[in-house]
Amino acid sequence: MIQIDDAGSGSLLGGTVIGALRVETGDYQYDVIPLEYYQGSNFSQKKYLDYVVNIVENIFANLDVSKEEPIEVCRGYMFDSLNTWLKNENYQFSRTKIVDPLQSIIEKTFDNYAIELGLPQSFITYTKFPFHFHRILKWVYADYENRSPLCKTGWKSWGKHGNLEITLGEEYIKNRDWTCLKCNEVISRNTTAAVKKYTSHYINKIYLHPHCI
C-alpha cells in the first residue's frame, strides 16, 4: 500500500513537502513544492495543486507503483488535482486521514527543510507551535530583508501583516536572558538590547543585539 501526505502547507515559511510511503517496506520519498508557487499569480491560480501531481508522478515512477496497488491519500485540499489525476489514470485510491508512521516522518521532513531555510533548531524543539503564523512572522521581521523572500507571500494574511510599520528602540534586560531572533545567540541579562516593535493583532517586541539591527 502507498500512502500520500503533505506537511508545511499551513506554514508561512517555505513551500510544501509532499511525501509517499510504501507501508510494507518503509520506502519513503518526497519532494517540495517550490516557494514560487505560493507567490504572485502562481498562488492566485493555485498552480501548487498541479505541482503535486508532478511530484507524485515522479515518486510513483521511482517506487514502481502499479495500477493495482492500493493508495491512500490525505483528505486535505492539497490533493484536489492529484485525486482527479489518480482517477483519470485508473489508480486504486481512497481519501482518508493519514496517521503514523507517515505523518511523523513527513512532519520531520518539513522540520529539516525549515532548518535548511534558516529557522533555528531550537525554535522547533522548544516552541509548542513553531510554525504558527505570528511566531514565524516575528522571526521574519527580525531579519526582514533576508527572510521575507522565504514566505508564502500570496497569502491574504501576508498581505495584511507582511509590511507593517516597525519602530526601533532599546531596553535594559534585567531578569532573564533573551535570544536574539536574528543571530540566535543569547542576549545576556543586565545588558541593553535593541528592540523592534510592531503591531499585528497585538504589540510585538523583537529583542536583538544592538549590532544585529
pLDDT score, position 30: 98
Per-residue pLDDT of the chain (213 residues; tens, 9 = 90+): 999 999 999 999 999 999 999 999 999 999 999 999 999 999 999 999 999 999 999 999 999 999 999 999 999 999 999 999 999 999 999 999 999 999 999 999 999 999 999 999 988 877 667 789 999 999 999 999 999 999 999 999 999 999 999 999 999 999 889 999 999 999 999 999 999 999 998 999 999 999 999
Cβ atoms of 82 and 33 within 8 Å: the answer is: no
On the 0-12 / 13-18 / 19+ scale of CB atoms within 10 A, 13 is buried
pLDDT score recorded for residue 128: 64
What pLDDT score was predicted for residue 123?
A: 82
Neighbours of 62 (CB within 10 A): 11
DSSP string, 8-33: STT-SBS-EEEEEEETTTTEEEEEEE
Residue 187 C-alpha cell reads as 542576549
- Domains of the chain (ranges, CATH numbers): 2-117 (3.30.420), 130-212 (3.30.1740)
| pTM beyond 0.95 | no
**String of b and e for 114-152 (b: at least 16 CB within 10 Å)?**
beeeebbeebbeeeeebbebebbbbbbbbbeeebeebbb
